[in-house]
Amino acid sequence: MRRRKSDFGDQALGPIARAGGDAPKPSVSFEFSPPKTLEAEETLWEAIRRLEPLNPSFVSVTYGAGGSTRDRTHRTVIRMLKETTLRPAAHLTCVEASRGEVDEVIQDYWDAGIRHIVALRGDPPGQIGGTYTPRPDGYCNATELTAGIRAIGPFEVSVGLYPHVHPESPSIEHDIDVLKAKIDAGATRAITQFFFDLDGFLRFMDRVRKAGVTIPICPGIMPVTNFKGLKKMAGPIGIRLPAWLENLFDGLDKDPDTRRLLACSVATETCARLAEEGFSDFHFYTLNRADLTYAICRVLGVREPEPRKEAAA
């Protein structure tokens, strides 16, 4: 694979100019979170309707720490299935539930027509990045959960993947072994956590592919509009933020318009360079907002279909 320096500030935007040209259009997917309030629900559905015409390969709905959003996740996924053309995937975790309880949720999804689940271990209640202790009567990890899902039905199962060493892992080799175990249990796709160290991600992917992993792997893309919020999010889960990214947003706390422009540029540049390296599937963490994701997809050439013209009489 070719290697390009990932310091955004030192790079020309050549790949962006080529992204919307004659190159094959990438496949995109979007992550949403279940709303907590009526106002948040309106915002979510505005985002869903805005992004729906882009025909994503799937959209996922998150599951809160400790299973705290189980009912809201279920309602959102079912509404997507009934009221949109989208192909929804429900996040599901192992925490704070017995195997029987989790199996009941899986069966309910199958009966409702959901055919895609994102299987994750999950975080303890209120402790994102905290120490995880499995319940004696529950699934211990995402590998066991994946096997449990596939035992109930032939779901498509996506699993999580860190683009560097997981905070609780002793090594990259261990992470790759865990990924292979998930695949053996029935995982059909991996979605990475968001990242900004492009060179590090590419080196990691070289090792993953050399280990014999062949399932699709979707890079997770996080458009950044609030760097302080990003640091708060990234810290507990061990995501490293490069100095060049912090420098870009330095001094822009009261300038949201410039922050949005930079966010779009950084994310689009990342996708364009990944496309040059052979990646064709991108998973966007939307934070329930559509504007940046829509703009990035448009630059990449992902657009809603042209309306059909009526045939001449």
CB within 8 Å of 282: residues ≥ 6 apart: 26, 27, 28, 29, 218, 219, 221, 271, 274, 300
Q: In terms of DSSP bridges, do strands 156-161 and 58-61 run parallel, antiparallel, or are they unpaired?
A: unpaired
pLDDT of residue 308: 62
Residue 133 lies in a domain: yes
Supply the residues annotated as catalytic: 31
Query: Which CATH number covers residue 38?
Result: 3.20.20.220
Residue 147 lies in a domain: yes
pLDDT of residue 125: 66
Q: Is the four-CA dihedral 181, 183, 185, 187 of positive or negative sign?
A: positive
Residue 308 lies in a domain: no
Residue 260 lies in a domain: yes
Residue 163 lies in a domain: yes
- Give the tens place of pLDDT for each residue, 161-188: 998 888 888 999 999 999 999 999 999 9
Cα–Cα distance, 131 to 112 (Å, whole number): 34
Residue 25: pLDDT band with limits 50, 70, 90: confident
- Domain encompassing residue 212: 8-299
- Give the tens place of pLDDT for each residue, 256-269: 999 999 999 999 99
Residue 86: pLDDT band with limits 50, 70, 90: very high
For the record, the structure tokens of 41 come out as 């629900």
Number of domain units in the chain: 1
Q: Poorest-confidence range of 52-61, 114-123, 229-238, 239-248?
A: 229-238
Model confidence, pTM: 0.88
Closest to 54 in 3D by CA, of 85, 33, 76, 82? 85
Residue 77 lies in a domain: yes
Residue 174 lies in a domain: yes
Residue 114 lies in a domain: yes
pLDDT of residue 225: 86
